[in-house]
Amino acid sequence: MSRIGQKPLPVLDGVKVSVSGRTVNVEGPKGKLSWEHREHVEVKVDAAAKLVQVNRHNDEREARALHGLTRALISNMITGVKQGYEKKLEIVGVGYLAALKGKMLQLRVGYANELQRPIPEGLTVTVPDQTHITIQGCDKQMVGQFAAEIRSLRKPEPYKGKGVRYAGEHIKLKPGKAATK
């Protein structure tokens, strides 16, 4: 049995969870999320006890794999609509900067042209100063995906550490060619 999957999921105050068919709808103060689960598992909502229970139909390999995953995804949805998720990025390098222009994020990270990325619907991107970017939203996957896309535009290089990195990320710097002599 999946230890995560069989644990009942408490519904937080101010969050409404409903299941129609295979679609799980979660609504809270930060927004609404909807997700369709696979047919190998079954999701039940007990409104009186404020619990969500995920059960699987059989012990096949795929059903066992999806049991805990389904519960974790619903848990992330509940947390997202109640508190939200946030990723912070830092830009390191001389002349490297970020700016917001409408619904576009502009980045100058050492290329000949300025990079522009549209901000997806449902995300809030703020630039408190030119070297920091904050991405917020209720969908954990969307926040992480957009942060990863921004970081991939100019990953931190290993010699000087210049590039876009997550806040608090440690980059192991390599010694240059002068260190071998």
- DSSP state, residue 100: E
Region 85-166: CATH code: 3.90.930.12
164, with CB counted inside 10 A (0-12, 13-18, 19+), is buried
The pTM score is 0.90
Q: Where in the chain is the domain with CATH 3.90.930.12?
A: 9-82, 85-166
* CATH class for the domain made up of 9-82: alpha beta
- Provide the 10 A C-beta neighbour count for residue 165: 18
- For the chain, which ranges sit under pLDDT 70? 1-2, 181
Residue pLDDT, tens place only, 123-142: 999 999 999 999 999 999 99
Are 166 and 151 in contact, with CB atoms under 8 Å apart?
Answer: yes
